[in-house]
Structure 1
C-alpha cells in the first residue's frame, strides 16, 4: 500500500475540502442492527451538499487546476451525481463547465445540476448510458481544448472520494466491516485503500448491481473489460467498464464483491424510506441491500454501510414499487385465455382469486372477440406463499394461462 500513499492522500484532501463539503454523519441504525445481530452504522452521504459523495472528488480535482486551466473550463460525463459535483465546483471556482449526461437521466438530477451550476454549466444529453456520454465528452474536450474531469479514474478524484473513509475512521476507528457501493470504483478505491492503511484487518465488501457487474467481471478477467450490455436502473452505479486505476486498487483492497438484484435494491429503497425516513437513490441503497447477502459474515461485528447518494426522483417511485413487488414474489402477470362460456370472468374473480389477492391490471389483448380472447392480468398477492394456491385454483377451474414474469421479451412487450 505504500505506493498508493505516494500517489494520493485522503487526509490531505480532507483538509483541502473541509470548508467546502459537509462532514456527513455516521449514524447507528437500531432496526438493521437488531435484524442482523450486529452493530450497523450508516454513513449518510445522501446528506452531502449535492446529496452524494461525488462532490468530494470533483472539487478536489478542479480546485487543483491552474489559473490557466480554469480559464479554459472543464468537461465531464456523468449519470447525474458527478455532474452535480462538477456543477457545484464550477460555480464555486468561477469556471465554465460542459456536462454530458445520458438522455434517460432522471429529471430530478438534471434540475439539480442546473441549480448547482447557477449559470456556469451547459448540459448536453446524449446516448442511453454513461459510456455513451464519456465517448462524446472526451471528443468535445479535445476539440475545445478544455479540461476533462473524469468521474472515477483519476488519482485526484480517488483521493477526494477517499475522504469518506477518513471521516468514517475518525468516527468509528474500530469498524470491522465496510460495505462500499461500486460504479466506476472511485469510492471503493479511495476509501478502501485508506481503510486498509489504517487497519489492515478490516473487511471491505464491494457492492454492485447484478445488472452491471463491471468490477466483478474486471477482477475475474484480470483487468477491466467493456460489458456489452448492462441494466441502467441503478443509474449511479451502472457503468460498462471500470477504471484502470480503480481496478488496480480494488482488486487489492476488497475481500469480496456482492452482486445485488435490482429488485432487492428497490425493496431496500422502500424500507429505508418507510422505516428510517431516508431517501436513498438506487446506488445509495446498494450497501444496505447487500446486508441480507452477507449476514453470516457480519454477525456480531461493527458494520458500516455507505449510503452514497439520495438523488431519487419521486417520479420513479411507482417503478421502484413495481420492481420490488416482482422481486418479492408479490406481483405476477399472466396472459389468461378465459374459457368460452358465460360467467368465466365472474368465476375467476369469485373462485380463483384468493381473499387477499388483488387484480391491479386487466386488459383484453385482442381488439375483437374480447369476451373470449386472451387478457393481460396483473395480480398482487399479500403473501408470496399464496402464489402456489392461486395457480392450483386456475388449473382446477380450467383456465388457460401463461405467466410472463419470467419471459423477459414478453414481459417488456406487454408490461
Structure 2
C-alpha cells in the first residue's frame, strides 16, 4: 500500500515541474446539482491532464537509478506526460498508443519528441508491447497506474483539494486503471478520513465497479465508451486493494449523461474538458451521488480533446 509519506515525498519531487491547478465553480452548476460544486481543473495542468504528476515522479526516479530509455502504453494522456518529462530529462521515450488514438494526443506526444508505436485498441494489447520494447532496448517501462511512484504522484491532487476547499465533504474522481483515485484516496483518507471519496466509471467501462461487487479483480471485454481515457479492462493489482479499502462508493454514468455534462461545462462554463473528465460532473448533475447541500469537489482529469471530433460528443438536445 502507498502511504501518505510517499505522497508528500512525491510532492517535493514534482513541484518544480507541475502546476497547482485551480478550483473552478459555477452557481448554475451548483444549483442543478443541489450541492456546492467545485471543479478541480487538472484539464489545465501541464500536458493537459493529471498524468504529468505520476509520470514525473516515476521517470525522475528511474533516471536517478540510471535509466537511459523509457516506454509507456497509453491512450494519450499518460503517453504525453511520459514523453514530456523524458524530454526535459534528456531520455528517449517510445509510447505505445491504440490504433484509434485521438489525433490531438498523438500530435502532442510527437511534439514532446516521443516516438510512437500503434498497437491494438485496448490496454491489454498495449501494455505487453510497451514492456517488450523496454526489455529489447534495456529500458524501463513506465506503468500508467499500477506503480507506487505513479500512485503517489497522482495523490498530490488530493493534497491540493484539501488545501484549496475548506471543509470539503465529498471528492468525486474518475476511474480508469485506478491510479488517480487510489492516490487521492491515500492522500485524503490518511489525512481527513471523514471526507468521502466517490469514484465514477462509464456504464460501458465498469470494471472497478464489478470488481468491488465480486470482491476480486474482474475483467471486462473491450469498450467503446466516449470516455477514452477510462477504457481499461480491469483495475490494477496495486490500485484495486487501495480502492477496495478506502473508497466510499462507485457510481456509473451513461454515455448520454457524459455528453450532457461535457456540453454543459463547455457551453456554460467555457471549459474544454475530455469526456473522461465529464464523468464526475455527470454523476453530480444526474443525482448519482445521493447527497445534498454538501461541498463537492469533482476532479476534471484532463482536457486533451480532438476538436474535429468534439461535436460528435454533444447531446442531440440541450438540458433545457
Query: TM-score over 0.5 for the alignment?
Result: yes
Give the drift of 1:129. 1.9
Partner of 1:5: 3
From 87, 92, 98, the equivalent of 1:91 is 87
Aligned equivalents of 1:267, 1:174: Cα separation in 2: 29
SS in 1 for 2:205: coil
Give the drift of 1:220. 1.9
Structure 1, unpaired ranges of 5+: 331-381, 385-415
SS in 2 for 1:244: coil
Give the drift of 1:112. 1.0
TM alignment of 1:218-237, pairs within 5 A? 218-237=211-230
- Identify which range, 151-160 or 133-142, moves more after superposition: 133-142
From 209, 215, 219, the equivalent of 2:202 is 209
Q: Does 1:56 pair with 2:68? A: no
Task: Write out the 4+ residue segments of structure 1 that deviate beyond 6 Å after TM superposition.
Answer: none
Partner of 1:290: 283
8 A Cα contact 2:39 2:297, kept in partner: yes
Partner of 2:71: 75
Aligned equivalents of 2:103, 2:61: Cα separation in 1: 31
Partner of 1:166: 159
Partner of 1:101: 97
Give the drift of 1:295. 5.7
SS in 2 for 1:223: coil
Partner of 2:307: 314
- Identify which range, 289-298 or 34-43, moves more after superposition: 289-298
1:207-229 CA deviation, whole Å, 9 max, x = no partner? 00111111112212222222123
TM-score normalised over the length of structure 2: 0.95
Aligned equivalents of 1:293, 1:250: Cα separation in 2: 23
8 A Cα contact 2:24 2:41, kept in partner: yes
1:202-259 CA deviation, whole Å, 9 max, x = no partner? 1111000111111112212222222123224211111012101110000111111111
Aligned equivalents of 1:274, 1:74: Cα separation in 2: 39
Aligned equivalents of 2:149, 2:40: Cα separation in 1: 22
**CA root-mean-square deviation:** 1.8
From 236, 259, 272, the equivalent of 1:243 is 236
TM-score normalised over the length of structure 1: 0.74
Structure 2, unpaired ranges of 5+: none
Structure ID, larger Rg: 1
1:309-347 CA deviation, whole Å, 9 max, x = no partner? 0011111123212xx22xxxx5xxxxxxxxxxxxxxxxx
Higher relative contact order at CA 8 Å, sep ≥6: structure 1 or structure 2? 2
